[in-house]
Amino acid sequence: MTPELFFLLASILFSIGLVGLVSRRNLFVLYMSIELMLSAVNLLLATFSKVLNDADGSVIALLMIAVIAAEAALFLAMIVHIYRSGRTIDSDKLNKLREGAQNA
Amino acid sequence: MLSLIVILPFLSAFLMALVYLENAQKKRYFFYTLVGVGTPLTVTVLSFILGSQVLAGSDTIYQTLLQWIHVDNFNIEIAFMADRLSIVMISFITFIGTLIHIYAAGYMKEDEGYGKFFAYFNLFMGSMLLLVLADNPIMMFIGWELVGLSSYLLIGYYHNESSNITAANKAFILNRVGDFGFIMGISLLFVSLEGSGFTFDSIKEHINMIDKETLSLIGILLFIGAMGKSAQIPLYVWLPDAMAGPTPVSALIHAATMVTAGVYMVARYSFIYIEIPDIGLFIATIGAVSALFAAVIASYQSDIKKILAYSTMSQLGYMFMAVGLGAYSSGIFHVFTHAFFKALLFMGAGAVIIALHHEQNIFKMGGLKNSMKLVYITMFIATLAISGIPPFAGFFSKDAILVIAFATEHYILWGMGALTAMLTAYYMFRLLFTVFLAQPKEAKNLQAVPASMTTPLVILAFGSATVGFLGANEAYGGSAWINTFLSLPDTKLDISHAKEYMLGGLNVLLGLLGMGFAYTLFAKEAEATKVDTLFKKLVVHKFYIDEIYAFFIVKPLLLLSRFIANVIDPRIFDGFINFNVWGYRRSALLFAKLQNGKVRYYALYILIGVSGMSYYLILKLGVI
Amino acid sequence: MMDNILSILIFLPLFTAVLLGLFRAELKYLKIGAMFSSVAILLLVTWTAYNFDPDAGMQFVKHAPWIQNSGMSYFVGLDYLSLLILLLISFLMPPLYIYMYHENRKGYWYNMMLLQTGVTGAILSLDLVLFYLFWEMMLLPIFIMIGKYGNGMHQYNAMKIILMTILGSMSMLFSIMYIGYIYFDTVGMWSFALTDLATLSFNAKTSIWLTAGFLLAFVIKIPLVGFHTWMAPAYGSSPTPAVVIMSAIMAKLGIYGIWRFGFDLFETTLVYYAPTIITLALIGLLYYAIRAITEDNLRKMFAYSSGSHLSLIALGLFLTNLYAWSGSLYFIATHAMASAGMFIMIGLTYKRFKTVQISALGGIASKAPKFTFFFSFFALCIAGLPGTGGFVAELLIIIGAFKANFWIGVLTATTMLSAMMYIFWMLQRTLFGKANNDTQYKDLSLREVIMLLPLAILLLATGIMPSLFTPIFEPQLTASLQEVLNIIGGLK
């Protein structure tokens, strides 16, 4: 159980999350990718905490779990709202916050 | 006192202009006549006083007014120099000028712009006097250009008719083309002589500092100015059109004075031209060709003033022949005599035109011998003079020129001159006979011609008859007084009296021949030339030179201008700028595509940015 | 008072404008205020000129710190060149205000006052950043005048002039910044004062780029051929007061810039650029003149005329001998007055006929002699008629050109031909012949004659007696030229 294996796992999880974030349009999938990335970071923090015998990393990881939970609530609530007003959960269709006029 | 001669006309012009502008409608006939004619009269008196001083043996009179400019070595003063050459010039310029002013007072009497006319006329007098009395090339050039300006203003005097303005433009533009060469000559002269002063006297002293090549170049460039001002080939086309101005203008400017400025210039710069005889030969050739060319055209013209205009060009050609071959005094002498009879001819023509209610076509005239006796007799005398019949003035001056051509062995030039002499007699008598002798087509009632117009004619006729003796050669019993008086560096001639008599006789014979031809053809029944042969067609249309100029010079300029306006400016320069604008627009559109509002793209950008930065920081800069 | 005179000259119009603006002054007071400030400045400038010593160098200098840490100071001073242009602008503003007498749009008045501050500041600054500030400040009022009050495609043309001029200004700014940086590198502290920066010497390669940056700004302003496409549209769409200042003053600032900054900072590199500029100037001389022949809009025609003569002035500047320099300086003065007079006449034409298209004019001479007189007088001044100042200047430059090189002399002499090509035909169609319209109009009023008379008198005076004017700038000009020749001479 060397730390390198944990790093590897964390990197793989992060990458999967990143790719998912960039390439998927479904808002839920977007959310899950974000969660995945956050989890990967958590794992990394915990591993470093153990490797360096520093408690800071674990503390941050714990705090992050709480924050992630809150974020989950907000995010999912927003998705519900978005669906109710726009009848879509395709992130590509939500592009009003850009320069007006021109074709893009 | 010398400066007054130049300043008074300018001041009077200025005064009259102010008064005229203050209220152009008011007819202040008395005031304008008093100032407008009084000033030239005063100036004439002053000139004669000065002239008598110089005649009595005093040296050149100088007068410096003030410094004009002083920059580095360019030090020019407003200064005047009355040497013998200038004295001869101002004597006839002021005298004949005043006569023509008196004539104009009668001619222009009913005209609205009377005051404006005399303002312009006096401006001209001042400029011409400045030209001949200047003591340095720059002041002469200023006079030179101002004379061109006066000419422009006076030719375009009847400004409601657009074609008159076109003629005025033509005159000024062609003059300016000549001035382009002239100013180059002057500048080159100055730059070559830098540091040793720039008055005619000091240039004469230091002329040997300049090498022959540069001197030849200067000589040609200066002559280009003369080509424009004195209507020689190829810059002559403005002179016939200049007849659009009132007749007094044609008499004064385009006959007696302004056009002779070129000849004066060559005489004034004689110290240059004696060093470069090849250029002199060039000048003489141009003169001879112009003389013959103009004489041919004049033989077929029907407008009385145009005939006289071409005649002037032709006589100017003679003058350039003389000065080109080194006979400066003879050239100036011909200027002097020509002023008398040409002014007379123009004024007489003006009288005829007025009498016939502004008719200018000679073939619509005829039989005026009895109704306009005075004009007839005086014009007859002038015609005899111009045809070179002794003892009238033209004989002595023209003869001198032809003798010189023969004596210096330029036989071709002599031949051209002789042929021109015959043609001169022919077309001048053609004019005289057609106007006065031939049967008129219809009866005419004549407008009365005021005494102010006829009296000058008499005075000038007297002059045409007598002034010839001033320059008569020894062969004819004279002492060539004017040649010795002028003391210009003339080429010495070596010709026997016998030859001179022969040549003189030949000239008279040619003159009589011309007169004879004219008599047979025109004295009874005058018919306008029928344009049947190709040659006649060419000549009547003045060899199409105007059309050639329009086609090869004016049209290309206009085309070039439009080309610049429609192609070069918008497509090339603006095109370059518009290309940049297009480039910016396109890249803007491209960049706009990045901002598409989609979250995942933005996430991608963040990814790329952070990765790039981290890569750079960690791996390149070593920041951990 | 003496010490601060220049600052007063610069800021008085601005101050007046701000004061009047703050109090939302009525039109009547605005006009009075503007007239008062311009006349006051004229009097002060006359007094300054009277106290000007032709033999000393920079005078009335004021050097105060502005942005201390970055080396930008408030550094103003007056020498022969600045004095000349200062005299010109101060002299031209009162007649312009007389011209604008009936103008009821407040924007005109405010903008002209701002313009005067901008121009005065630009010619008096000796600190590079301060100069840049005023240089840009000049543009704003012009932009507003053309963009808001112009005619034709005025908005497009306003944008064009702004963008093209700013392109040059930007490159100049880069050069300024880089020079400041070099100074900091060499000396250890920041300074943008001209006198400090003149002591620097740059290595060849940097110098070429830096000079290019500066030159671009000035060359666009003059304008030299190739950089000129903003000029005709801008002049054509612009209202008269703006176009007068543009032609008479602002164009000269391009020349001024090269003279003041180019020669002090970059003499050696200017030798490198001289052939290019001389060629462009010679081409421009004829290019603009030929272009002007078929132009129907009077303002545009004289825009091209301006360009032609300014190319000649630029040419004179780069022929380093005293004749050409004196000629250029003289021409700056006389051309400013002649073109101001001409554009005012064109403005008067517009007021009477509501058009400046030549094809719609004609036959004025028979109805309005005074108008005809002034119109042709100014036009002939521009054509370089002897007896007017323009001729003296052209003559000097031609002589200077011949001294430098025979062929340059020949090409320069074509200036005799250039103006006449379009002026005479234009006069014929505008003033003479038959009228192409049947508007009722009056001849010049007394007010208008009074406005034009000083210009006409000065043009005649500079033509008839140049010796009255040349001694004022002769000594310094000679000294300046000597300095430049020493440095350049060291190269050859």
SS3 readout for B549-575? HHHHHHHHHHHHHHHHHHHHHHHHHHH
The amino acid occupying position C410 is V
Question: Distance (Å) from the C-alpha of residue A2 to the closest C-alpha of chain B?
Answer: 23
C-alpha distances (whole Å) from C209 to each of B552, C214, C271 are 45, 9, 14
Q: Is the pLDDT of residue C63 over 80?
A: yes
- pLDDT for the residue numbered C467: 85
Q: Which of A18, A23, A104 sits opposite B596 (nearest CB)?
A: A104
Q: How many domains does chain A have?
A: 1
Q: Is the pLDDT of residue A90 over 90?
A: no
The CA distance from B595 to B588, in Å, is 11
Measured between CA atoms, the residue of chain B closest to residue A101 is B592
Residue C136 in tokens: 């840009």
Verify whether the Cβ–Cβ distance A102 to B597 is below 8 Å. Answer: no
Residue A101, in any domain of the structure: no
Residue A2, in any domain of the structure: no
- pLDDT for the residue numbered B70: 85
Q: Is the pLDDT of residue B477 over 80?
A: no
Question: Distance (Å) from the C-alpha of residue A19 to the closest C-alpha of chain B?
Answer: 9
CA angle (B239 as vertex; B235, B243 as ends), nearest 5: 165
Verify whether the Cβ–Cβ distance C413 to B562 is below 8 Å. Answer: no
* Whether A21 contacts B600, CB under 8 Å: yes
Q: What is the pLDDT of residues C365-382, one digit of tens each?
A: 888 888 999 999 999 999
- pLDDT for the residue numbered C96: 92
Percent of chain C residues past pLDDT 70, beyond the cut: 99
Q: What is the mean pLDDT of residues B568-590?
A: 87
The CA distance from C459 to C464, in Å, is 9
- pLDDT for the residue numbered C220: 92
Cis link prior to B450 (omega < 30° from 0)?
Answer: no
Neighbour-count burial for A36-73, b at 16+ CB within 10 Å, e otherwise: bbbbbbbbbbbbbbeeeeeeebeebbeebeeeeeeeee
C-alpha distances (whole Å) from B309 to each of B164, B165, B253, C328 are 16, 18, 11, 42
Chain C positions touching B565 (Cβ under 8 A) are 291, 294-295
- Residue A45's pLDDT band, with cuts at 50, 70 and 90, is very high
Verify whether the Cβ–Cβ distance B598 to A94 is below 8 Å. Answer: yes
Q: What is the pLDDT of residues B565-575, one digit of tens each?
A: 888 888 888 88
Residue A11, in any domain of the structure: no
Q: What is the mean pLDDT of residues C51-65?
A: 79
Helices (H), B156-260: 162-192, 200-206, 212-229, 238-241, 247-251
Q: Is the pLDDT of residue A102 over 70?
A: no
The strand pairing partners of B134, in sequence order, are: B80
Of the candidates C215, C220, C259, which has an alpha carbon nearest to the alpha carbon of residue C83? C259
Which of B14, B71, B186 has the highest number of chain C CBs within 10 A, making it the mutation to test binding with C?
A: B71
Verify whether the Cβ–Cβ distance C228 to B573 is below 8 Å. Answer: yes
Residue A86, in any domain of the structure: yes
- Helix, strand, or coil here: B441? coil
Of the candidates B344, B346, B361, which has an alpha carbon nearest to the alpha carbon of residue B526? B361
Q: Is the pLDDT of residue A104 over 50?
A: no
Question: Distance (Å) from the C-alpha of residue B611 to the closest C-alpha of chain C?
Answer: 32
- pLDDT for the residue numbered B476: 65
Which of the listed ranges B110-124, B398-412, B539-553 does the model predict with the highest average pLDDT?
Answer: B110-124
Question: Distance (Å) from the C-alpha of residue B121 to the closest C-alpha of chain C?
Answer: 16
Report residue C245 CA to chain centroid gap: 7
Q: What is the mean pLDDT of residues A21-47?
A: 93
**CATH at A88:** 1.10.287.3510
The CA distance from C299 to C107, in Å, is 22
Residue A66, in any domain of the structure: yes
Q: Is the pLDDT of residue A21 over 60?
A: yes
Q: What is the mean pLDDT of residues C290-294?
A: 90
Q: Is the pLDDT of residue B207 over 90?
A: no
Residue A8, in any domain of the structure: no
Q: What is the pLDDT of residues B436-454, one digit of tens each?
A: 887 777 767 777 777 778 8
Verify whether the Cβ–Cβ distance A25 to B600 is below 8 Å. Answer: yes
Q: What is the mean pLDDT of residues B126-154?
A: 93
Q: Is the pLDDT of residue B237 over 50?
A: yes
Q: Which of A22, A98, A104 sits opposite B607 (nearest CB)?
A: A22
The CA distance from B340 to C407, in Å, is 43
Neighbors of chain A with 3 or more C-beta pairs under 8 Å: B
- pLDDT for the residue numbered C492: 40
Which of A22, A23, A24, A98 has the highest number of chain B CBs within 10 A, making it the mutation to test binding with B?
A: A22
Verify whether the Cβ–Cβ distance C403 to B160 is below 8 Å. Answer: no
Question: What interface predicted TM-score (ipTM) does this complex get?
Answer: 0.91
Of the candidates C338, C325, C319, C215, which has an alpha carbon nearest to the alpha carbon of residue C266? C215
Q: What is the pLDDT of residues B62-99, one digit of tens each?
A: 888 888 888 878 888 888 988 888 888 888 899 999 99
Quick one: which H or E segment has residue B146? helix B137-155
C-alpha distances (whole Å) from B308 to each of B316, B386, B420, B461 are 12, 11, 15, 17
Q: Which domain holds residue A71?
A: 25-93
Residue A32, in any domain of the structure: yes
Q: What is the pLDDT of residues C309-348, one digit of tens each?
A: 999 999 999 888 888 999 999 999 999 999 999 999 999 9
The secondary structure of C113-148 as a DSSP string is HHHHHHHHHHHHB-BHHHHHHHHHHHHHHHHHHHHH
Measured between CA atoms, the residue of chain A closest to residue B602 is A22
Q: What's the whole-number average pLDDT of chain A?
A: 89
Q: Which of B142, B169, B187 sits opposite C409 (nearest CB)?
A: B187
Verify whether the Cβ–Cβ distance B595 to A99 is below 8 Å. Answer: yes
Q: Is the pLDDT of residue C173 over 90?
A: yes
- pLDDT for the residue numbered C490: 57
C-alpha distances (whole Å) from B349 to each of B231, B296, B378, B393, B431 are 21, 21, 11, 20, 10
Find residues 598-617 of chain B whose CB sits inside 8 Å of chain A: 598-600, 603-604, 607
- Residue B478's pLDDT band, with cuts at 50, 70 and 90, is low
Ranking A17-21, A81-85, B499-503 by mean pLDDT, the lowest is B499-503
> What sign does the CA torsion over C25, C31, C36, C41 have?
positive
- Residue B475's pLDDT band, with cuts at 50, 70 and 90, is low
